[in-house]
Every structure is written in structure tokens, then in C-alpha cells.
Amino acid sequence: MPPIRYVNRKRMERARLLLRTTDRSIKEIAASVGYPDTNHFAKAFRRETSSSPSAYRTGGGGAREG
């Protein structure tokens, strides 16, 4: 696995944890995992999980959880 892929996967693992266990806003979570642009975070999150961050938070998470 290329190093950038590993880093991105770890960022998304952390984001999934924060979405499930905190009430922090998606904007705050995005920034805390290294995405100052919420739209970029949402696209990356959807690519990794097949779900939007808000849908994941409410229990509609995708099939590709890591």
C-alpha cells in the first residue's frame, strides 16, 4: 500500500470513530483529521466508505468500512 493511501485510511478511521462517538460537527471532525475543506473531506469520506459523513453518523454507513 502506498504511504499516502495508508495515511488517508488512518484519517478516515479516526473520522469514523469521531462521527460515531462524539457530537462534534462534521466541519470540526474534518479539520481534526486534516481536511480544512469540508467538501473535500466529504468526497474523500464517501470514496472510502460509500457513505456521506452525515449518513454514516446516523447509522447508514456504507459497506466498505475499514
- How high is the pLDDT of residue 62? 56
- How high is the pLDDT of residue 25? 98
Is 65 within the bounds of a domain? no
Condensed to tens digits (0 to 9), the pLDDT of residues 36-65 reads 999 999 999 999 999 999 999 998 665 455
Q: At what angle do helices 3-21 and 38-49 cross, to 10 degrees?
A: 100
Is 66 within the bounds of a domain? no
- How high is the pLDDT of residue 66? 52
> How many domains does the chain fold into?
1
Which region, left, alpha or beta, applies to residue 2 given φ > 0 means left and ψ of -120 to 50 means alpha? Answer: beta
Three-state SS at 2: coil
- How high is the pLDDT of residue 1? 86
Condensed to tens digits (0 to 9), the pLDDT of residues 1-33 reads 899 999 999 999 999 999 999 999 999 999 999
Is 62 within the bounds of a domain? no
Q: Which residues contact 43 (CB under 8 A, 6 or more apart)?
A: none
Share of the chain above pLDDT 90, in %: 86
Q: Assign residue 52 the CATH number of its domain.
A: 1.10.10.60
Per the structure, the complete domain to which residue 25 belongs is given by 3-57
